[in-house]
Chain A
Amino acid sequence: MTKVTLIKAGGTDAPAKKPEHPPSLYEKRHQIYPKLAHGKFRSFKWLVMAVTLGIYYLIPWIRWPRGEGIPDQAVLADFAGEKFYFFFFEIWPQEIYYLGGLLILGALALFLVTSLFGRVWCGYTCPQTVWTDLYIWVERAFEGDRAARMRLDKSPMSFNKAWRKIGKHIVWLLIAFLTGGAFILYWHDAPTIARTFFTGEAPLTAYFFAGILTFTTYALAGTMREQVCTYLCPWPRIQGALTDEHALNVTYRYDRGEPRGPHRKDQSWEGRGDCIDCKQCVQVCPVGIDIRDGAQLECIHCALCIDACDDMMKKVGRPTGLIAYDTDVAVQARACGQKPRYKLLRTRTVLYAILIAAISLLMMWGYSAKSTYEFNVLKDRSPPFIRLSDGRIRNGYTLKLVNKSTDIRTVAVSVEGLPEAEFEIIGLGSAPDGGSMELTADAHGVDRYRLLVTAPSEGLPARTTLTVQIKDAETGEIAEADAPFTSGDR
């Protein structure tokens, strides 16, 4: 590993001063004025931003045919109906482990990507990054680029300054409201809630969450920005464990750049580094750090400094890539005059990939093997068995039948394991000898039935296992559940 020097947060270009005593209890935030970069990474970031924002705002409007009484929405977290819908997936509360699996997959994918290419999540797709980018874009539209914004902030209040500032905040609030508003579309039928929200008929929670998210969007993307990443987010702190010297991070190639210094047109490039100390990389940085100080906590690896530096290199006629996605090992190797070696296949990356594949397969298999029915038989624990007046033994059970389809089904119930036994379902009567009984299973819901099984006591073991089976009258689909039948104290 290279020796990494910790740089004081926000310490941009000012040399470290010894603090005056007594030290102040707080540090004032250094306002950062990111300059607009041009280049392939900036273009790619615009594209990612368009896609991610598009996904966020448009997904709830995608329609998807659902059954009776359920909103025809492709992606919906239906709290009232206790279901989660995602296109052709449908998750019931008792299948919440799918959501857990998705979270685990998400975490592993994040680990894999991070161990390969560093913090691409932070740099390109994190909502904080995307919305901050959008807000800076609005700020730029109203106040101009870096230099103009700095001048405006220093200038005394004037009509020009006022309308620019006010306009910016109005648009910010508007975007924030759209963000908070779009969030609640995921929890209700989108067209309905979009209408009732303005007629005042929407549930209170909708206004509450829309308000919360409006506020957080405005505060986090408008005013806090890089402080969220530096102070609030645990992700930068987990980085140390997830990336290593073989991971491709946004790296300043000091082997090529040092010693740095200003360069005039007529000077030769012999005996000096390519870095001309133009500070462009610092000016475009959204978190206001200097990438040339090496890897650091605040850096979100958005690669905008790569664009800025490549621009300058082209202008002074040197090869691009002085700042690039590179690994610590490669830079060190080149500094020692060796050939850099890249190892993207490492124990950790292979392991992550295998885990992701395994969990994905497991989940797909689990989902494909999902049945229409979820069926449980719960034995009464007290009394463990009932001795009837004619000496026969009776056990009581509660059947819990979940029908996940959207229409009412008829199922035939039969009990196996005790050939002599007869059974009855309360409210429906007894089964004919050795036969089965028909139950209706409510569409998209849970039904409970009381089942009583009675067996003659002769030759009955103290404990046997019954298998209760349900069979769909139309499709023939079968679900089974086992339950003990007890007839004595063990």
Chain B
Amino acid sequence: MTDHKRDIDEVSGVETTGHSWDGIKELNNPLPRWWLYVFYGSIVWAIGYMIVMPAIPALPGMGMTNTRGIAGHSDRAEVAKEVEKLHTERAAAASQLVGASLEQIENDLSLQQFALAMGESAFGDNCATCHGAGGRGAKGYPMLADDIWLWDGTLEGIETTLRHGIRHTEDPDTRRNTMPAFGRDGMLTPREIDDLVEYVLDLSGREADQAAVSRAAPIYATQCVTCHGADGKGNRQLGAPNLTDHEWLFGGEPRDIQQTIYSARNAHMPAWQGRLDDPTIKALAVYVHSLGGGEK
């Protein structure tokens, strides 16, 4: 409003706001009293709330934090409390998991469902980083959904792997084997290694230079047969991979195989005992076993 003359609506005798749209003016009727008091009340409430609760962020001299409020409320503490509550609520079912054998868990539907739900979320938090969603696997990280297992695909075997890890030096019970770095440590010449690559290709039924294969046969028989077996089928006891299947943990191209023989891979998996509690480890074992390749 530019002029401060009061504009009175002639029909009702009520002052208007002075705004006009297409000749229609808005009356400026007073608010009901209770409405106004509620409005004042909310202002008072807001001031009190800012004093009592965390409210004002990044005041000078406070760094990037906020005022704490005198009630000492903190969302982080609330979350911690909620998580704690969740743990106590789950305690009953979790203790059932601990008490039951893995077989019992898988055959008792309600326990199985609990374990799968728990396992799924724990897997997403701890395992999927390397093994991929649903145990899809990646180069250097075994696929957990198929039936090809380096060590052991039974429920107990999976649990052992989870607990103690693979080549996890701090755990004496860890699964361990060492493939020598034949090239790097000078045990074989690069030419011999190239021949061995052809031999391995031949083992898995792929195209190979037969001359090289026959040259590599004695080398394989002396260097590799101990772990991978005369037929190249590998050895579960030692965690030695099967060389005749289609599954290559570190890639099945000649160049990948050459690299493996030259400098060895010897990947690590941490031991989870102590990081995760018992029921979670059991639930993870049941979950991994159910992905599609679990063995009886």
With contact pairs A17-B13, A447-B109 given, residues A389 and B147 touching in the complex (Cβ less than 8 Å): yes
Asked whether A158 is an interface residue with its Cβ less than 8 Å from the other chain, the reply is: no
Q: Complex: how many Å from CA A7 to CA B11? A: 9
A394: nearest chain-B partner, CB-CB: B292
Check if B32 sits within 8 Å of A27, measured CB to CB. yes
Over the window 9-51 of chain B, the binary record of Cβ atoms lying under 8 Å from chain A Cβ atoms (1 yes, 0 no) is 0011111000000000001111111111000000000000000
CB distance from A69 to the nearest CB of B (A): 16
Q: Complex: how many Å from CA A394 to CA B6? A: 83
In A378-437, the 8 Å CB interface with B consists of 380-383, 386-389, 391, 394-396, 426-428
Asked whether A490 is an interface residue with its Cβ less than 8 Å from the other chain, the reply is: no
Query: For A396, what are the chain B residues with a Cβ–Cβ distance below 8 Å?
Result: 134, 145, 291-292
Over the window 436-453 of chain A, the binary record of Cβ atoms lying under 8 Å from chain B Cβ atoms (1 yes, 0 no) is 000010000001111010
Q: Complex: how many Å from CA A396 to CA B29? A: 68
Query: For B137, what are the chain A residues with a Cβ–Cβ distance below 8 Å?
Result: 383
Check if B14 sits within 8 Å of A25, measured CB to CB. no
**Majority-rule SS of B interface residues:** loop
CB distance from B191 to the nearest CB of A (A): 32
Check if A26 sits within 8 Å of B8, measured CB to CB. no
Q: Complex: how many Å from CA A71 to CA B292? A: 42
Q: Complex: how many Å from CA A450 to CA B292? A: 9
**Majority-rule SS of A interface residues:** loop
Check if A231 sits within 8 Å of B35, measured CB to CB. yes
Check if B29 sits within 8 Å of A16, measured CB to CB. no
Check if B8 sits within 8 Å of A18, measured CB to CB. yes
Q: Complex: how many Å from CA A394 to CA B291? A: 10
Among B133, B146, B148, B290, point to the contact of A382 (Cβ < 8 A).
B133
Among A227, A383, A448, point to the contact of B143 (Cβ < 8 A).
A383
A445: nearest chain-B partner, CB-CB: B110
Check if B11 sits within 8 Å of A29, measured CB to CB. no
In A19-44, the 8 Å CB interface with B consists of 19, 21, 23-29
Check if B146 sits within 8 Å of A452, measured CB to CB. no
Name the interface size band of chain B. Answer: 35 or more
Name the interface size band of chain A. Answer: 35 or more
Asked whether A336 is an interface residue with its Cβ less than 8 Å from the other chain, the reply is: no
With contact pairs A9-B29, A16-B14, A389-B245 given, residues A426 and B35 touching in the complex (Cβ less than 8 Å): no
CB distance from A181 to the nearest CB of B (A): 27
Q: Complex: how many Å from CA A224 to CA B35? A: 12
Check if B30 sits within 8 Å of A387, measured CB to CB. no
Asked whether B246 is an interface residue with its Cβ less than 8 Å from the other chain, the reply is: yes
Asked whether B280 is an interface residue with its Cβ less than 8 Å from the other chain, the reply is: no
Query: For B147, what are the chain A residues with a Cβ–Cβ distance below 8 Å?
Result: 386, 388-389
Check if B30 sits within 8 Å of A389, measured CB to CB. no
Residue picked from B34, B35, B133, B291, most chain A C-beta under 10 Å:
B291
Check if A7 sits within 8 Å of B12, measured CB to CB. yes
Asked whether B116 is an interface residue with its Cβ less than 8 Å from the other chain, the reply is: yes
Asked whether A347 is an interface residue with its Cβ less than 8 Å from the other chain, the reply is: no
Check if A387 sits within 8 Å of B246, measured CB to CB. yes
Among A29, A427, A440, A448, point to the contact of B32 (Cβ < 8 A).
A29
Q: Complex: how many Å from CA A224 to CA B247? A: 77
Asked whether B293 is an interface residue with its Cβ less than 8 Å from the other chain, the reply is: yes
B112: nearest chain-A partner, CB-CB: A427
Query: For A5, what are the chain B residues with a Cβ–Cβ distance below 8 Å?
Result: 11
Asked whether B194 is an interface residue with its Cβ less than 8 Å from the other chain, the reply is: no
With contact pairs A27-B30, A383-B136, A427-B106 given, residues A8 and B36 touching in the complex (Cβ less than 8 Å): no
Q: Complex: how many Å from CA A19 to CA B14? A: 7
Asked whether B232 is an interface residue with its Cβ less than 8 Å from the other chain, the reply is: no
Q: Complex: how many Å from CA A343 to CA B242? A: 87
Q: Complex: how many Å from CA A380 to CA B242? A: 27
A428: nearest chain-B partner, CB-CB: B107
With contact pairs A383-B134, A383-B135, A426-B112 given, residues A26 and B35 touching in the complex (Cβ less than 8 Å): yes
- B-side residues, CB < 8 A to A, are 6, 8, 11-15, 27-36, 106-109, 112-113, 116, 132-137, 143, 145-148, 242, 245-247, 289-294
- A-side residues, CB < 8 A to B, are 5-9, 16-19, 21, 23-29, 224, 227, 231, 380-383, 386-389, 391, 394-396, 426-428, 440, 447-450, 452
Between A and B, 30 residue pairs with Cβ closer than 8 Å are A5-B11, A16-B13, A18-B8, A19-B13, A19-B14, A21-B6, A25-B30, A27-B32, A27-B33, A29-B33, A29-B34, A231-B35, A380-B134, A383-B132, A383-B135, A383-B143, A386-B143, A386-B293, A387-B146, A387-B246, A387-B247, A389-B147, A389-B245, A391-B246, A394-B146, A427-B107, A440-B109, A447-B109, A448-B116, A452-B292
